[in-house]
A = this chain, B = another copy of it.
């Protein structure tokens, strides 16, 4: 490995000058600068980032904590963070939490140990209190797709209440009045917000949500299947089913198919997220889209500006709205 010392010797200057050529070229005389650059080129010198980070007490890197790497939901947000930071010359490094509170803690700290200048945390499992304490201690960490009212300015998220309301309004506009829903785990704040929005939207039309038509799912396909079966078994009639994510909607469609229930003729199904499975289902899933890439990008930029102290975050959008993507699983309710 070639070090800055070797470059400096070859070029007949001090290491300080080489360092300047790399980080602050304009303060170096043009002749020396070119000579040093030539040597760097010739030796194929590349600065050791570890040493640089240590000396400069900054890593020009933002860390990201997500549940896992294998689902598109997290992948898209991570991609959003990475592409946005790339534009401002920052790197991204991600660590997975395995969807446990301990994993979230460990990943977060581990990123900090690596001297990430900021970290973007997607946490489903840590309690509000603990998050608040951690955010207080880590002034450059931000929350991804989670809202903590004590630290609202450190959160970048989808407005889930609005998303739930939108779902209600859309289904109502299609003439549905008996609406069922499959939620995520109730411990997730998303679940409660979407439910709250759903209630609001229904209330506007004078509809109240029948508690028997609310089933708890797990955000996975299997949970969607069993929850749907459960709803169907209650024998309470409903014409539309709002699932809190697309995977569960896929499960719902599967259960309907197995029971010979036609979608959307007999039951309309509405998903949430708009990840790729939505467009692969048959019929294609109508869903509430959340702009995951944009949300990730905003979170990355927020962490970056907190880290660099740039006030550039003023004006940054941190709350995002969901929108309906109409495909083929919702149709007008029979009059």
Closest to A51 in B: B54
B68–A79 touching, CB < 8 Å: yes
A82–B96 touching, CB < 8 Å: yes
**Min CB distance, A329 to chain B, in Å?**
12
Residue of B46, B96, B114 touching A79 (CB-CB under 8 A):
B96
Q: Is A48 in the interface zone, CB < 8 Å from B?
A: yes
Do A113 and B49 contact each other (CB < 8 Å), given the known contacts A82-B69, A280-B280?
Answer: yes
A76–B70 touching, CB < 8 Å: yes
When all copies of this chain in the complex are counted, the total is 2
Question: What band does the interface of chain A fall in when counting residues whose beta carbon is under 8 Å from B?
Answer: 35 or more
B70–A115 touching, CB < 8 Å: no
Which residue among A70, A94, A277 has the maximum number of chain B CB atoms within 10 Å of its CB?
Answer: A70
B59–A70 touching, CB < 8 Å: no
CB-CB under 8 A from A79, the residues of chain B are 68-70, 96
**Min CB distance, A188 to chain B, in Å?**
22
A75–B82 touching, CB < 8 Å: no
B91–A110 touching, CB < 8 Å: yes
Do A46 and B115 contact each other (CB < 8 Å), given the known contacts A70-B79, A75-B75?
Answer: no
B94–A94 touching, CB < 8 Å: yes
Do A109 and B75 contact each other (CB < 8 Å), given the known contacts A54-B51, A82-B96?
Answer: no
With the chains together, A290 CA to B38 CA distance in Å? 47
**Min CB distance, A90 to chain B, in Å?**
12
Q: Is A132 in the interface zone, CB < 8 Å from B?
A: no
With the chains together, A250 CA to B59 CA distance in Å? 42
CB-CB under 8 A from A112, the residues of chain B are 46
- List A residues 53-90 near B (Cβ within 8 Å): 53-54, 59, 68-72, 75-76, 78-79, 82
Per-position contact with B for A266-294: 1 when CB-CB < 8 Å, else 0? Answer: 00000000001100111000000000000
Closest to A293 in B: B70
B280–A114 touching, CB < 8 Å: no
Q: A50-B114, A50-B115, A93-B93 are in contact. List 16 more A-B contacts (CB 8 A).
A: A46-B113, A49-B113, A54-B54, A68-B75, A69-B75, A69-B82, A70-B75, A70-B76, A70-B78, A72-B75, A91-B95, A93-B94, A276-B277, A277-B277, A280-B281, A282-B282
- A-B pairs, 9 with minimum CB distance: A282-B282, A70-B75, A49-B113, A70-B79, A69-B78, A69-B75, A69-B79, A280-B280, A50-B54
